A = this chain, B = another copy of it.
């Protein structure tokens, strides 16, 4: 008889691990700063890139649905953490960027999240962390989840 041990089944393990890790991190961005995951992803994308970028771009490269990003942008603008400027070249889209207030929050939040990540990975040696990152990279690659430079020009959908 065919059997499957859920606890050795990689898809299940990834799911459970992701949920657990997310909930460990949400203590920081959710409870402390009132951000949800999509909102945090927007700030993370804007903070990492030098140039402002469109909602569509964020949706694509974080693999988050554009409607979810749209709602999160609205919320962030209400809190004046993010602002958008019209794009003269293409008036359908807006360039998003963090406000001074948004940047200040980002500056506070990042070290906290990096510390949490280290706590989660503290059970691994430095070499093991590199190995783990490399293995994740291979799987991402094979699933076409990598972020490439040309992705900046990617279109609708996700």
- A residues sitting closer than 8 Å to B (CB atoms) are 1-22, 24-25, 37, 41, 44-45, 47-48, 62-63, 106-107, 110-111, 113-114, 116-117, 120-124, 128, 131-133, 135-136, 138-143, 145-147
Establish whether residues B143 and A138, one from each chain, have CB atoms under 8 Å apart when the complex forms: no
Establish whether residues B143 and A20, one from each chain, have CB atoms under 8 Å apart when the complex forms: yes
Establish whether residues A135 and B133, one from each chain, have CB atoms under 8 Å apart when the complex forms: no
Establish whether residues A132 and B135, one from each chain, have CB atoms under 8 Å apart when the complex forms: yes
Establish whether residues B17 and A140, one from each chain, have CB atoms under 8 Å apart when the complex forms: yes
Residues of B within 8 Å of A106, CB to CB, are: 2
Q: How far does the Cβ of A119 sit from chain B's closest Cβ, in whole Å?
A: 9
Q: How far does the Cβ of A28 sit from chain B's closest Cβ, in whole Å?
A: 10
Given A6-B45, A10-B117, do A123 and B110 touch, yes or no (CB 8 Å)? no
Residues of B within 8 Å of A107, CB to CB, are: 1-2
Residues of B within 8 Å of A111, CB to CB, are: 2
Establish whether residues B143 and A110, one from each chain, have CB atoms under 8 Å apart when the complex forms: no
Residues of B within 8 Å of A116, CB to CB, are: 11
- A–B complex contacts, Cβ < 8 Å, 11 sampled: A4-B44, A4-B113, A4-B114, A8-B133, A12-B44, A16-B140, A17-B139, A17-B140, A19-B63, A123-B141, A124-B138
